[in-house]
Amino acid sequence: MSDQPEMDNQAEGEFESPFEEFLYHQRRALEETGKALESLLPEGFRTHGSNASKEFTKGFRVLVDAAVDEMRKASSKHTSEEDAGDEGEDDTPPSSTGKTKVKVEVD
């Protein structure tokens, strides 16, 4: 790391508004704070922390993919049951009360 701060292409006074200049300085302050905190941590900690973060993300990806697959299975099962139930039926809607009640979907 260098002791010299990196200079951005945006020079002082080349801002369209005071708010834009404010955002520029806030972003630079955040970058420098990140560099300061990073310099306090040993290289091994950063390496293992990065690997831990990647594994954490992979774990959630597996969990979400499994949930999506289960939702697809349930959806296709529901669709195939609807298709099979349409054969040979009249236009009378199913009962929503009693022993044979069914769930009614509202669009």
For 26-82, write each residue's pLDDT tens digit.
999 999 999 999 999 999 999 999 999 999 999 999 999 999 999 999 988 888 777
Those residues with Cβ within 8 angstroms of residue 21's Cβ, 6 or more apart along the chain or in another chain: 15
Residue 91: band (very low, low, confident or very high) from pLDDT cuts 50, 70, 90: low
Q: Give the residue, 13 or 4, on which the prediction is more confident.
A: 13
Any idea where the domains of the chain sit in the sequence? Answer: 9-40, 42-83
The distance of Cα 90 from the centroid of its chain, to the nearest Å, equals: 45
| Residue 67 confidence (pLDDT) | 94
Separation of alpha carbons 8 and 20, rounded Å? 14
Residue type, 88: G
pTM over 0.85: no
